[in-house]
Amino acid sequence: MRATEFLPDVQRVLEERGEPAYRLKQIYFALTNSLVRDWDEATSLPKNLRAALSEQIPAASLGLETISRATDGTRKYLFRTHDGHAIETVMIPEKGRRTVCISTQVGCPMACKFCATGLLGIKRNLKAREIAEQVFVAARDIAPDGDHVTNVVVMGMGEPMLNYKDTLLALKVLNDPDGFGLAARHIAVSTSGLIDKIRRFADEPEQFHLAISLHTPFGDEREEIMPVASRSSIPELMDAARYYVKTTRRKLFFEYTLLAGVNDQPRHVEGLAELLDDPLYHLNLLRFNWTDTGFSATSKRRAREFLNEARDLGLSATLRPSRGQDIDAACGQLAAKDLRGRPAIPMIGA
């Protein structure tokens, strides 16, 4: 039962109290579907059980500190973990869609040179409940407007493949028809390119989407801006990509942040056309969002030219708009301020 994996601490309390087994299912539904953040809101539970849970296990595993709203409607949520760390989550409104971008780690160990989160270092992995709860809070926040979460992207703080077990459990809860009930095809995970985890993810039965952060088709350049690239070559990465599409028959997305003078030249388009040679590959272009990293954004004109050149060479490609820049909520900008300046700590794969 998904609830047993997701709420082991709650199950322990229920067993100690001798509660009937169905109570766990009620609690699971209250958290994942009714979106309660205080046990007193879980009115299906007896009052004495609500009181006991309130004393031992908070209904909310994350404290919501602030909600920032951008001029384009994007919302950024600042959470505080039980041990005092800050993480950020973003809700992006688009026509007919409400996408929540969630974090899987406190900080990030990957140190991509253009990413604000990469400047933070890493403190710890988030638990499955902390990961999923970010979506629950956003869903609860937008519900009074008559909106609901339509998509989830695991593209916030952290490298999700280094927190594989808890990330996958959180996504299964979000997908669970007895839980949050979001279709698997509306959930996407982004990785900086850990090839063993890409292959493992391809073998999972759920139909979650995958995105690989590429950012240049050339290995030496990729190592320069993405230290993780030194672990495996681009040919090795593309072998894993081919395994993914062959195994799943699903579209595979490649994320590409356009950096002025770094990866936005015609030779880069030509290199991408040679590299992304499968009809299931799709290139997602995004102009760099400002962070204090020394990089500059490719001009809007050049970004459009890059997109057109890619399409002319037969690539399936889109240029995504940046959202939430005025509240530092755009892609690559998440950097909970209390973590700034702390050195990176190596992470061992989960």
**Residues that are catalytic:** 88, 331
The neighbouring-strand residues paired with 63 are: 80
DSSP conformation class of 262: T
311, 315, 313, 255: which is closest to 280 by C-alpha?
Answer: 315
3-state secondary structure of 34: coil
DSSP state of 96: T
- Sign of CA pseudo-dihedral 238, 304, 260, 120: negative
Contact status, residue 194 vs residue 159, Cβ threshold 8 Å = yes
Q: How many Å apart are CA 229 and CA 214, to the nearest integer?
A: 9
DSSP 51: H
CB 333 within 8 A of CB 92: no
Residue 144, CA atoms < 13 Å, CB-side half-sphere: 2
Nearest to 143 by CA among 104, 91, 102: 91
**328: number of CA atoms within 13 Å, CB side?**
15
Sort 68 into a burial class: Cβ within 10 Å, 0-12 / 13-18 / 19+.
middle
